[in-house]
Amino acid sequence: MTPKRIILDCDPGHDDAVAIMLALGSPAIELLGISTVGGNQTLEKVTRNAQSVLVMCGREDVPVYPGASHPLVHQVEVAPQIHGESGLDGVELPEPTVPVRDKHGVDFIIDTLMSEPAGTVTLVATGPLTNVALAVRKEPRIVERAQQVVVMGGAYGQGNWTASAEFNIWVDPEAAKIVFAQEWDTVMVGLDLTHQALVTAAEEEKAREIGSPLANFFIGLMNYFRKSYADNQGFTDPPVHDPCTVAYLIDPTVVETVAAPVDVETQGALTMGRTVVDMRQPAPAGCRSRVATKLDRERFWGLVLDAIRTLSEAQK
């Protein structure tokens, strides 16, 4: 099977780190490069975190391109209460030994989509959508060339940063509005789906059985994440949001989706950042956006743990 070739635009972030591991450890994915965006922490911190995760995965060959530090309109809002001051608290972060690339993350997205054959590269975004929106505005032709855009963000139900808004959309609602308004195939993997991706003691035990430095790194990340989510959002087991996007690309049967139009509120005093999803069926003819609804949790965690196992074996 030909691997799905992806760009990962992210803000590591504990769950972004697991998305990177899953992308690198699955034979069904070819990770062309990482662009980073200010979100969970500042651009500088999330960029360094991406590099550290690549060191842990033994894959510093994967290029990292720093992108936008600030949202299009709003002020920067980071999430230390969830991810800590470093953005990846709870583990020792190895020093990067490969410098980040000097090309801007937005230009990496544009250049890759414009140079690779049309329809062969999928854009995966697991942070605020600032880079993706800027890329669309700078080079609108990427819209017809991207194979698909898979976004961790939003919700058709409750938000997590406000009653209305999920964090990635909250940080840059204008960018999200631009992204979901384009004529490309999008899949919104929102909280409705990712709140099913809880990591429990069972997964931690399976990771412990792998017994590698990477598996222990994963355990350390999840233990910190567990305390953050318990203290701040009342979860006993934390939802590991971002790798759900990659799992969908590895095996679309792991994540059920429905066709539904998605728009983003950018004005409401109480609803700013809400993804307004019209779940009435049937969806309008020509609707190119899909929304994730149901996760096969066991198979999802099987994919993640297999990826960690594969990466660990390759480092022996």
Rule CB under 5 A: is residue 13 a binding residue for Ca ion?
yes
Footprint (CB under 6 A) of ligand RIB, residues 109-128: 126-127
Element (H, E) at 290: strand 289-295
Asked if 274 and 158 count as a contact pair (C-beta separation under 8 A), the reply is no
Tokens of 132: 């993706």
Catalytic positions are 241
Of residues 89 and 166, the one with the C-beta less far from ligand RIB: 166
Query: Of these, 26, 126, 228, 266, which contacts Ca ion (CB under 5 A)?
Result: 126
Asked if 275 and 262 count as a contact pair (C-beta separation under 8 A), the reply is yes
Stretch that binds ligand RIB, among 11-19, 200-208, 255-263, 272-280 (CB under 6 A): 11-19
CB burial of 109-140 (b: ≥16 within 10 Å; e: otherwise) equals bbbbbeebeeeebbbbbbbbbbbbbbbbeebe
The option from Ca ion, ligand RIB, none interacting with 25 (CB < 5 to 8 A, set by class) reads none
Write down the least CB distance from residue 85 to Ca ion, Å: 17
Footprint (CB under 6 A) of ligand RIB, residues 28-87: 39-40
Rule CB under 5 A: is residue 84 a binding residue for Ca ion?
no
Write down the least CB distance from residue 170 to ligand RIB, Å: 8
Of residues 134 and 152, the one with the C-beta less far from Ca ion: 152
Write down the least CB distance from residue 242 to ligand RIB, Å: 5
Q: Could you tell me whether strands 146-152 and 64-66 are parallel, antiparallel, or unpaired per DSSP bridges?
A: unpaired
The option from ligand RIB, Ca ion, none interacting with 167 (CB < 5 to 8 A, set by class) reads ligand RIB
The option from ligand RIB, Ca ion, none interacting with 89 (CB < 5 to 8 A, set by class) reads none
Q: Any alpha helices (H) in the chain, and if so which ranges?
A: 14-25, 43-57, 80-83, 105-115, 130-138, 142-145, 167-171, 173-181, 191-194, 201-210, 213-233, 243-250, 297-314
Q: Could you tell me whether strands 289-295 and 255-259 are parallel, antiparallel, or unpaired per DSSP bridges?
A: antiparallel
Asked if 86 and 111 count as a contact pair (C-beta separation under 8 A), the reply is no
Of residues 40 and 52, the one with the C-beta less far from ligand RIB: 40
Write down the least CB distance from residue 83 to Ca ion, Å: 9
Tokens of 24: 């690198």
Write down the least CB distance from residue 282 to Ca ion, Å: 32
**Number of helices and strands in the chain (H, E):** 13, 10
Rule CB under 6 A: is residue 172 a binding residue for ligand RIB?
no
Of residues 241 and 309, the one with the C-beta less far from Ca ion: 241
Footprint (CB under 5 A) of Ca ion, residues 219-278: 242
Site string for ligand RIB, 222-261 (x = CB under 6 A): -------------------xx-------------------
The option from Ca ion, ligand RIB, none interacting with 243 (CB < 5 to 8 A, set by class) reads none
Rule CB under 5 A: is residue 130 a binding residue for Ca ion?
no
Say how far apart CA 11 and CA 220 lie, in whole Å.
18
Going from the C-alpha of 219 to that of each of 228, 232, 313, the distances in angstroms are 14, 20, 17
Write down the least CB distance from residue 102 to ligand RIB, Å: 25
Rule CB under 5 A: is residue 16 a binding residue for Ca ion?
yes
Asked if 280 and 172 count as a contact pair (C-beta separation under 8 A), the reply is no
* List of residues 6+ apart from 200 with CB closer than 8 A: 237
Judged by the rule CB under 5 A, the positions of this chain that interact with Ca ion are: 11, 13, 16, 126-127, 242
